[in-house]
Amino acid sequence: MKMISTLFLFALLFSSSYALDFCVGDVKGPETPVGYLCKPTSKVTVDDFVFTGLGAAGNTSNIIKAAVSPAFSAQFPGLNGLGISIARLDIAAGGVIPFHTHPSASEVLLVTQGKILAGFVSSANTVYLKTLKKGDVMIFPKGLLHFQLNAAGYPSIAFVSFSDPSPGLQILDFALFANDLPSEFVEATTFLDDATVKKLKSVLGGTG
């Protein structure tokens, strides 16, 4: 609510031609901590409130055999300031969405095809794990590490909604091994040996 109020205040300060009903994002400008500045109402069209990109499967020809197709405020400007967003998950056989967090949002996942083993870890290190089938829904609280993997042996699909138009993303494996942090520091913080760290850095494109 505070974010929406701030965006509306920006709109009123910059021009009287903005509607108070919504704040369609001006995605040509920079994204701020409270979202995008509002597009003038005279430039808003129905297409700002419609997104057609979730009907097609994402490209799962990658190391994790999975794809995320987002409809966040950057792709779907009408979401700006509304506290919601959505994405499509495609997970091929043997695929996984690795442990990751969304710093800005809680998540609701709905399976529409196949089976997905999903889980999250609380701040007390309690694991909540469930195999989900078509029609099942699971929630992942804001900021907690969670994952999804294919449990069907054939392509699985899910749609996920978030409590923020720009939920953010940090994948744990990439955070550890896809950067230039010296291997000795990664080894010290993960208790992994030098050979393992360097192998993972090589696989994920890290250096150091």
Whether 65 and 147 map to the same domain: the answer is yes
Query: pLDDT tens, 171-193?
Result: 999 999 999 999 999 999 999 99
For residue 15, what pLDDT is reported?
45
Strands (E), the chain: 66-71, 85-91, 96-101, 107-113, 115-121, 127-133, 137-140, 146-150, 156-162, 170-171
- For residue 185, the enclosing domain spans 175-204
Shared-domain flag, residues 199 and 147: no
Domain count, the chain: 2
Over range 45-54, report the average pLDDT: 96
The residue with greater pLDDT, 73 or 12, is 73
Does 146 belong to an annotated binding site? yes
* Residue burial 158-194, b: 16+ Cβ < 10 Å; e: rest: bbbbbbbbbbeeebebeebbbeebebeebbeeeebee
For residue 112, give the CATH number of its domain. Answer: 2.60.120.10
Question: What pLDDT score does 183 carry?
Answer: 93
What is the per-residue pLDDT across 141-153, written as a single tens digit (0 to 9) for each? 999 999 999 999 9
Is the Cβ–Cβ distance between 120 and 148 less than 8 Å?
no
- The torsion angle over the Cα atoms of residues 158, 162, 167 and 173, rounded to 10 degrees, is -40
pLDDT band at 33 (very low <50, low <70, confident <90, very high): confident
User: pTM for the complete prediction?
Assistant: 0.86
Assigned domain for 121 exists = yes
Query: Does 152 share its domain with 196?
Result: no
* Percent of the chain whose pLDDT exceeds 70: 91
Which amino acid belongs to residue 191? Answer: F
- The neighbouring-strand residues paired with 70 are 87
Same domain, 179 and 147: no
Per-residue confidence band for 2, with pLDDT thresholds at 50, 70 and 90: low
Has residue 158 got a pLDDT over 90? yes
107 is in an annotated binding site: yes
Q: Are residues 189 and 164 in the same domain?
A: no
128, 150: one domain: yes
Cα–Cα distance measured from residue 165 to residue 117, given in angstroms and rounded to the nearest whole number: 26
Asked if residue 105 is part of any domain, the answer here is yes
Q: Is 37 inside any structural domain? A: no
Give domain status of residue 33, yes or no.
Answer: no
Chain segment 115-148, per-residue pLDDT in tens: 999 999 999 999 999 999 999 999 999 999 999 9
